[in-house]
């Protein structure tokens, strides 16, 4: 697989996950909206990593670590960093029964609307820096 194909692979996965988040939002499955928003950002960050490093992104879900290792963390503004900090735990917490119920109660429609909007913004910002 060429480097360009690797980047395209990650971008397409990110787009697919955004579509999945939107489908989960429409069906009011807010826990999975949050989980998929994390996945959107993880995969678009991995696309950016692949472009900057010309190597396979690290096998991690840690968004800050991906951005830092790729060397674009310093390009993120405070609001983007704050959003990353907000969604980072959603990847793990949405997977474990102990956290699912508590998290599901906190994820309301307005909160998920906000998550979706910020996810789209950060995904688009990242794409603009990749393409």
pLDDT in tens, 85-130: 999 988 765 566 777 778 888 899 999 999 999 999 999 999 999 8
Neighbour tally for 89: CB within 10 Å: 13
Angstrom distances, CA of residue 16 to CA of 36, 37, 100: 10, 11, 23
Predicted confidence at residue 98, as pLDDT, reads 73
- Does the predicted model carry a pTM greater than 0.85? yes
Domains belonging to the chain, first-starting first, are: 3-130 (1.20.120.330)
Contact partners, residue 42, CB within 8 Å, separation at least 6: 61, 63, 66, 91
Structure tokens that stand for 22 in this block: 């939107």
**Distance between CA atoms of 124 and 11, rounded to whole angstroms?**
11
pLDDT in tens, 38-70: 999 999 999 999 999 989 999 999 999 999 999
For range 10-29, the mean pLDDT: 98
Q: Using 50, 70 and 90 to split pLDDT, how confident is the model at 18?
A: very high
């Amino acid at each position: 697989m060429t480097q360009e194909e690797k980047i395209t692979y990650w971008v397409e996965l990110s787009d697919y996950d955004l579509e999945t988040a939107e489908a989960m939002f429409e069906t009011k499955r807010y826990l999975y909206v949050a989980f998929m928003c994390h996945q959107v950002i993880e995969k678009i960050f991995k696309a950016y990593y692949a472009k900057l490093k010309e190597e396979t992104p690290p096998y991690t879900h840690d968004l800050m670590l991906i951005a830092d290792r790729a060397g674009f963390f310093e390009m993120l503004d405070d609001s983007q960093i704050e959003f990353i900090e907000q969604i980072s735990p959603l990847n793990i917490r949405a997977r474990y029964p102990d956290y699912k119920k508590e998290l599901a109660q906190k994820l309301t429609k307005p909160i998920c609307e906000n998550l979706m909007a910020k996810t789209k913004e950060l995904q688009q910002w990242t794409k603009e820096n990749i393409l």
